Chain A
Amino acid sequence: MIFNSIEFLIFLPIVFLLYWFVFDKNRKAQNILIVVASYVFYGWWDWRFLSLIVISTLVDYFIGLSLANQDQQKKRKRLLSLSLAVNLGLLGFFKYFNFFVDSFTKAFTFAGVPIDSPTLKIVLPVGISFYTFQTLSYTIDVYKRRQVPTNDFISFAAFVCFFPQLVAGPIERAQNLIHQFTAERRFKYVDMQFGFIRVLWGMFKKVVIADRLAVQVDTVFNNPELFHGQHYIVASVLFAFQIYCDFSGYSDIAIGTSRMLGFRLMENFRSPYFAVSLKDFWRRWHISLSTWFKDYVYIPLGGSRGTAFIVIRNLLITFLVSGLWHGASWTFVIWGGIHGLFLVIENYTGIGNKSNSTNWRTILGMTRTFIIVCVAWIFFRANTVGDAFYIVGHLFDVQPSLGVVSSSGTLYFGEPLWRFGAGVLSIGILVLIEYFIGKGLLTERFIVRKPLLVRWAIYLTLIFSILVFGRFEVNQFIYFQF
């Protein structure tokens, strides 16, 4: 089930009413409802893959308990290894089997030793990267004694499969979320308001901005040879906003829905395109993932301690793995590599160091960071590595016109000028709103403190914008594939 579907529009109120008006006296019953609802939510897509969530839940629950009762380091390590093997094994098989087999085959063929490859028809379970990382973080934290294991199985199961953030995050840590399942919940009117406005805003970003920009972006990236440098540049910028609105829109809906159920999830984005350096960007973009990689990959590798070589190695490994996490394709690995490389450069040149920033330096930093991020997005979005290099190689093959003459008239990124203009305008509005949000001038609190009629006017404006300007033919969120 996806957030921008009719099914979810029916599903959520039912869960909400049962949760607050039928099972509100019993926390355990509320948790059971969450587990059942989450399984329905996930199984709506393909019930067979629920088994993977159940396996992860059972394995990490019992390993968590065993770790608590085990003092011998050797046995504790074995338990952790078992959890890693099961979780990463499932992830590796379903997501990376064909990628690695294919890559090995190509490598051998390239070396003049052609081999047959046993690729399988494997369906990628939606959200497997997200819930796998979430459960892994629990086991690792228990192993490191940063987290006390829970003996409440239902709470743990709810933590693993909590439907608002199950398939595309934010990737929550046990320290933040699991205790919320064991604590009493209170119905707060203000939480409902906060949640509602957040859900509407997320939906607006997804169906009004992201899905509309997708048409223009897809037109260029699916047929790069038909376009020129000016199109690639604009399409990369449009994609930057498409993916931001798509993914942060999902996070907003997840955070808002959770808030309405009495849970507080971590923020996943903080106006990332206002970042003055790549380091800053990663403090603002997909925060739940970047902190996950920092805590569970970068720091265990040694972090920024050690020689320059070690630090560079750690950074590059972390970002290459992060790229691979996004998808079983070399385009994502290269995307991660670009980020890693520029972070290394920033680290050793002091570029983007906030302490010496002035106004013009801030603007320069933002522009520089945005350009690097957009170039990296080309690799992220391109259908193949070949396409990505073709686009990058022709970035400066610029011609004066953005329009392309076709049998349907002059089209701008596959659409009439007014629709392309509307897309650009929507980005302008978004940037303005993000600016005010970033300055703390436009928050949920600001809205809920307004008189009833003003609040309703804001809600209705968003609802009508979604209904009238939203694009409903494309449903999937980009990050579902990861």
Chain B
Amino acid sequence: MGKQSIEKRKWIRNGMSFLIVSLILVKAFEYTHLYLARHSNQNQTGKINLIMAHKVDADLMIFGSSVSEVGITSNLLAEALNVEVYNASIDGTSAVKSGYLVDEYIGYTNRCKVALFGLSAFALSSNDQVTQPSRFLAHYNRNEHVRNTMRTEAKELYADMRIPFYSYAVATSDYYKNVAFGLKNVMRGVELAPDNENGSILHDAEYVNTDDGRDARLEPQWNIAEKYQNLFKTVKAGNVLPVAVIMPLHRNGQKAYRDYSEYVNMVRRMCSESDVSVLDFSNHELCDQSEYFYNNGHLNIQGAEIITKIIADSLTFNQVLKVGQ
């Protein structure tokens, strides 16, 4: 046997052995970190975990982005309506982009009567990406709702996720932080449960004008409105009443739209076609009062309190939520 052949055999033997050992270790580690991430109760990953593990149920569920996460106070709403409320809004992403949460939740809830959709200024704007996919990474291969949402909302990610071990490329340092929290919970035997604020995040900060017209390209898209209509259908099919809320946008933020009323009219049409009630704060006096915002899109704790009370009054007035029925 030639020297080359001996060297090649050695390489094949050692190389293949190393490859197999590496693959096993990498796969084992992937399995472990995904398992632990599913046990985190922190931040957005914690919220997603709660719903995916069916550990949260409420009479009124809120879906949307950070705008509704900080703008609608679960506990205040719960107190006013005397019902259970949970805010499942995920920051940086619209209800459509986190549609898997709606699908999953409606699939198991026995309690929910109202699903509130908080619509931010970006709700109908086009974007083929999802914010921080590492938040739902742990559920990607286990939950078909997550995959279905990504198939339409983040095509590139959907394609890439077919690559073995791609989870490592998606995982961020925040994800590994959740893995660490998950490890802590598993070791201490802590069960997933809603936090004290029931999903809302309250900001006690002063207003800063952040936009400067930088997002002047914002244009509402009807095809996204149709996706909301599909979500409304899903919710109705689960015998839950969808209600849309056009969240207040500071007047300075409204300037980012070529024509803000076009967005508002599109939301109204979208809801009207689906026979869904709309609570419209687009022209509320709050939009001119900077003391209720901490930036153009987000209400601070005082603003959230006002809006939440109006929502509660409106739901009570319309007898949308009757506890015990």
Contact = CB atoms under 8 A, between A and B. Distances in A.
Interface of A: 6, 20-21, 24, 186-189, 192, 407, 419, 422, 452, 456, 459-460, 463-464, 467-468, 470, 472
B22 A407 contact: no
A189 B22 contact: no
Interface stretch (B8-16, B75-83, B148-156): B8-16
A419 B14 CA distance: 37
Given A452-B14, A456-B18, 10 more contacts: A6-B163, A24-B4, A186-B4, A187-B7, A189-B7, A463-B26, A464-B25, A470-B168, A472-B168, A472-B169
Given A419-B173, A456-B21, A472-B169, A187 B205 contact: no
B68 interface: no
Nearest to B175: A468
B19 to A, nearest CB: 10
A188 B173 contact: no
6 contacts: A192-B15, A419-B173, A459-B18, A460-B22, A460-B25, A468-B171
Nearest to B21: A456
Contact of A189 (B10, B168, B173): B10
B186 interface: no
B299 to A, nearest CB: 13
A214 to B, nearest CB: 14
Given A456-B18, A459-B18, A189 B11 contact: yes
Contacts of B26: 463-464, 467
A6 B170 CA distance: 13
Which A-B residue pairs are the 9 nearest by beta carbons? Answer: A472-B169, A467-B168, A189-B7, A189-B10, A187-B4, A189-B11, A187-B7, A187-B8, A192-B11
Contact of B11 (A24, A187, A452, A460): A187
Contacts of A460: 21-22, 25
A422 B176 CA distance: 14
B18 A464 contact: no
B31 interface: no
A468 B173 CA distance: 8
Contacts of B8: 20-21, 187
B205 A407 contact: yes
Q: Is the interface of B mostly helix, strand, loop or mixed?
A: helix
Nearest to A459: B18
Interface in B155-184: 160, 163, 165-166, 168-169, 171, 173, 176
A112 B132 CA distance: 52
Given A407-B208, A456-B21, A463-B26, A188 B14 contact: no
Contacts of B160: 6
A419 B165 CA distance: 24
Nearest to A189: B7
Nearest to A188: B7
A189 B8 CA distance: 7
Contacts, number: 49
A230 to B, nearest CB: 23
A407 B295 contact: yes
B108 interface: no
A468 B170 CA distance: 10
Contacts of A463: 22, 26
A175 B252 CA distance: 65
Interface string B1-37: 0011001101100110010011001100100000000
B292 interface: no
B294 interface: yes
A464 B7 contact: no
A232 B3 CA distance: 57
Contacts of A419: 173
A452 B203 CA distance: 55
B205 A464 contact: no
Nearest to B164: A6
A457 to B, nearest CB: 11
A242 B206 CA distance: 36
A419 B15 CA distance: 35
Contacts of A459: 18, 22
A33 B208 CA distance: 59
Contacts of A189: 7, 10-11, 14
Contacts of B166: 6
Nearest to B12: A21
B4 A468 contact: no
Contacts of A452: 14
Interface string B176-206: 1000000000000000000000000001010
B121 to A, nearest CB: 17
Contacts of B165: 467
A446 to B, nearest CB: 18
A460 B19 CA distance: 10
Contacts of A186: 3-4
Contacts of B4: 24, 186-187
A423 B203 CA distance: 30
A468 B11 contact: no
Given A186-B4, A419-B173, A468 B295 contact: no
A6 B161 CA distance: 12
Contacts of B171: 468
A463 B22 CA distance: 9
Contacts of B173: 419, 422
A187 B14 CA distance: 15
A424 to B, nearest CB: 15
B245 to A, nearest CB: 23
Nearest to B173: A419
Contacts of B176: 468
A225 to B, nearest CB: 14
Contacts of A472: 168-169
Interface string B285-325: 00000000011000000000000000000000000000000
A53 B70 CA distance: 56
A222 to B, nearest CB: 14
A452 B18 CA distance: 10
Contacts of B11: 187, 189, 192
Contacts of B163: 6
A279 B317 CA distance: 81
Nearest to A4: B169
Contacts of B14: 189, 452
A419 B8 CA distance: 43
B132 to A, nearest CB: 11
A468 B18 CA distance: 19
